[in-house]
Structure 1
């Protein structure tokens, strides 16, 4: 409870500082900045990016830290019971790191595409509200509906690709983890002269728990690296020329 409270307070302080800095730079930006940058892009920084920083980043960070501690304790206990556990665990770690690097490289780009494609939706909505009388007068309602649908479809394509990559990661991690569990079971049978049936069952049980925890650790750490793109996007506005 104390660790969660400390993490939440520290995270809240970081979010407040980033938001205050973003607001300060935007408020002191020259008029040309608002002429060149679409309003939807600015709104997206204060809405979607700040919302991602508020909740998903904190959840991913907390889950990652918990999984790291759980994996370490489970690993120590499993290796104490059966020294042969080091072999599949090292193999599992190498494979998981490779999969994570492969996934994060793609998912971060997909997250950028998702954030970039969201800005035109805000811009179009803002422009439509400000010019709604002219749109009705010139009978351009259907055209603006088509533009809105096109931009929504473009954003949904990025979201769908991101969700698909998450499912790919989950299936691949389960496949690798189950293969390693099979290897652990075989090693327990091979070492039956050194371990009793009860200890072998305990080792397999801890291997199952370790597999699930490592699976969740890779997913949460990958999600943390993906969502941290919002900090990068907020930091972009720190280089705005000030009046």
Structure 2
């Protein structure tokens, strides 16, 4: 960039010297070829400069994006519980767009205009050195104004970014699942007013930011106008000592300087403000991973777990270290292929039990051991642990993509195996009746399928995976009784040789289990066959069913 600006200024100075020569000397080809070479050199350097600069800056932007994505994918789930979805959406959309599009152009303009400003001052100083004296009071004034502006604008920019997050949060929560509830209660206007209030809050911060930019620009224009005035006065005062071509060149640079200087400073300040977006994305890139890759783990056998024996030894768990335990002194032994029903009131610790097996909480928040086939789950990597377990969640999870991708995202099974899994849950017809078969598209969250079909696809996914341990978190809570009966029959028929843990609120879901685990306030209230549990804890069971 320095070389390009230097050649550009030399070409202009050369043109002024060429113009000052006599008519006969101006016709010399040496001047023409020299000027042509300088112009072509400026063009070539400008192309190389732009190509290299944007390659460099976009590579950095790509690195920031990948680091942020990696940080979010590998961090603990507690991060998503403590950060609103709007805040995350704001950073991965608006902040990423800033460093992808706005920051490179702004920084490029700032550096280029700053170099052009310096080049203009050098040319003006060569023609009339007395003009440079005005820089003595102007430079400290400029530095003070810029420092004062940045101290305020950085904080205003952060405020504008913070007030934008609630807008994203309200918009996403209203569309993703909230729209039917809003319409059912006829509160559309209330949510429109709430959305407008949040937009107004963000607009106020944005207006202050724009006003600060204009305030700064006005003062820069006044400073550059003063420099133009002094240059014009001195040019007239020394008109007999300066040749006309050089005077014209200095005045041209001085006129351009009025725009270049204030634009360079404004863009440099704006680039520094945009760096708050890079700072916010970098912060997400430094999120602590859920598991340290440097830790030493036991390498389990390739067929682990081959029996499906689960044992809790004096196990306690908190969601965070400062909170009360949600599981307290759990001591349970579950045999291979045993079917266990888990019941209890809301907040008794049923879902926490599954989170403990999947190691969704920090180790510092747990005590005791969980053994699967005799191996402590804390001694193996999260990848080995979670890839060997299957779960059918209460809310079916389907991703935007093909049906085959949702059944087998890692392409470990053949099309025939996928069709057999779908046939087991009586969904083969949705493949045979569709022109694209397994490649038919699934909308986000499976919105183009019914709730029952989405849940059956999740069951088919578990059938296909064939892990020895299956966890079912009230899989039939949101389906009709016919689909409930179908799922129960499929689980009974296809998962006979697996250890199954089932969280339930309906009695018929766990009535045929081998044993029922009753939880109350994070502790085991009973663990026995269904007949004994019903007779000994009728009231507790009734509360659980309700």
Query: Would the TM-score normalized by the shorter structure come out above 0.5?
Result: yes
Is 175-184 or 7-16 further displaced after alignment? 175-184
Question: Which residue number corresponds to residue 279 of structure 2?
Answer: 232
Task: Answer yes or no: is 1:37 the counterpart of 2:71.
Answer: no
Task: Answer yes or no: is 1:207 the counterpart of 2:254.
Answer: yes
Bigger strand fraction: 2
Task: Answer yes or no: is 1:172 the counterpart of 2:219.
Answer: yes
Question: Which residue number corresponds to residue 105 of structure 1?
Answer: 151
Highest Rg: 1 or 2?
A: 2
Give unpaired runs (5+ residues) of structure 2. Answer: 1-46, 291-546
Bigger helix fraction: 1
Q: Following the alignment from structure 2 to structure 1, what is the Cα–Cα distance between the partners of residues 91 and 252?
A: 46
* Secondary structure of the structure 2 residue equivalent to 1:228: helix
* Secondary structure of the structure 2 residue equivalent to 1:181: helix
Deviation at 1:28, TM superposition (A): 1.1
1:173-228, Cα deviation, whole Å (9 max, x unpaired): 21221122222223334434533566444433322222322111111111111111
1:24-54, Cα deviation, whole Å (9 max, x unpaired): 1111121211111101111111100000001
Q: Following the alignment from structure 1 to structure 2, what is the Cα–Cα distance between the partners of residues 181 and 11?
A: 35
Question: Which residue number corresponds to residue 444 of structure 2?
Answer: none
Q: 1:114-125 residue pairs with structure 2 within 5 A? A: 114-125=160-171
1:102-145, Cα deviation, whole Å (9 max, x unpaired): 22222111111111011101111111122111122222222211
| Contact 1:88–1:184 (CA under 8 A) maintained in structure 2 | no
| Contact 2:111–2:268 (CA under 8 A) maintained in structure 1 | no
* Secondary structure of the structure 1 residue equivalent to 2:97: helix
Question: Which residue number corresponds to residue 530 of structure 2?
Answer: none
Question: Which residue number corresponds to residue 231 of structure 2?
Answer: 184
Superposed CA RMSD in Å reads: 1.8
Deviation at 1:146, TM superposition (A): 1.6
| Contact 2:120–2:257 (CA under 8 A) maintained in structure 1 | yes
Match among 112, 122, 141 for residue 66 of structure 1: 112
Q: Following the alignment from structure 1 to structure 2, what is the Cα–Cα distance between the partners of residues 202 and 240?
A: 55
Q: 1:137-156 residue pairs with structure 2 within 5 A? A: 137-156=184-203
Question: Which residue number corresponds to residue 298 of structure 2?
Answer: none
Deviation at 1:96, TM superposition (A): 2.3
* Secondary structure of the structure 2 residue equivalent to 1:139: coil
Give unpaired runs (5+ residues) of structure 1. Answer: none
| Contact 1:96–1:218 (CA under 8 A) maintained in structure 2 | no
Match among 95, 98, 103 for residue 52 of structure 1: 98
Q: Following the alignment from structure 2 to structure 1, what is the Cα–Cα distance between the partners of residues 79 and 250?
A: 62
Q: Following the alignment from structure 2 to structure 1, what is the Cα–Cα distance between the partners of residues 54 and 245?
A: 42
| Contact 2:149–2:212 (CA under 8 A) maintained in structure 1 | yes
| Contact 2:157–2:209 (CA under 8 A) maintained in structure 1 | yes
Question: Which residue number corresponds to residue 85 of structure 1?
Answer: 131
Question: Which residue number corresponds to residue 11 of structure 1?
Answer: 57
Question: Which residue number corresponds to residue 122 of structure 2?
Answer: 76
